[in-house]
Amino acid sequence: MGKILIIEDEKAIARALELKLKKAGFAAKRVSNGREGMDILEEEKYDLILLDLVMPIMDGFATLEELKKRNIETPVVILSNLSQEGDEKKARELGAKDFFIKSNTQLSFIVDKVKQFIE
């Protein structure tokens, strides 16, 4: 169906997302920070990136900037617990296609959104 890269440092959420996406027929891979994500994106092509904003080593905003710098045009959906209006605005300005607050969003809803992006 499609290849999804999950860049998320909360292991439980990353694992649950990975399992749900695989069950829905996607090829999903998870890494725990933006630096690891960028390394993988140098090697492989993905159809969509699910990106957390608050992570160690390289956060989501730095990752969005790096994607732009390297002309990697994979669509990015932000999954964050940052709910400041400015965070969503900044993420969208940096190229994010959508933005979800993890604590307010069920995983099944995210999987449905991923399907819409990929189709």
Domain that holds residue 29: 3-118
Residues 36-85 pLDDT 10s: 999 999 999 999 999 999 988 999 999 999 999 999 999 999 998 876 77
b/e for 1-18, b at 16 or more Cβ within 10 A? ebbbbbbbbbeebbeebb
Element (H, E) at 91: helix 85-93
CATH assignment at residue 76: 3.40.50.2300
**Burial degree of 36 (CB within 10 A; 0-12, 13-18, 19+):** middle
* Predicted pLDDT at 71: 93
As to burial, measured by CB atoms within 10 angstroms (0-12 exposed, 13-18 middle, 19+ buried), residue 95 is: middle
Q: Which pLDDT score is estimated for 57?
A: 92
3-state secondary structure of 98: strand
Q: How many domains does the chain have?
A: 1
Task: Give the pLDDT score at 104.
Answer: 84
For the entire predicted model, the pTM comes to 0.94
Residues 6+ apart with CB under 8 A from 84: none
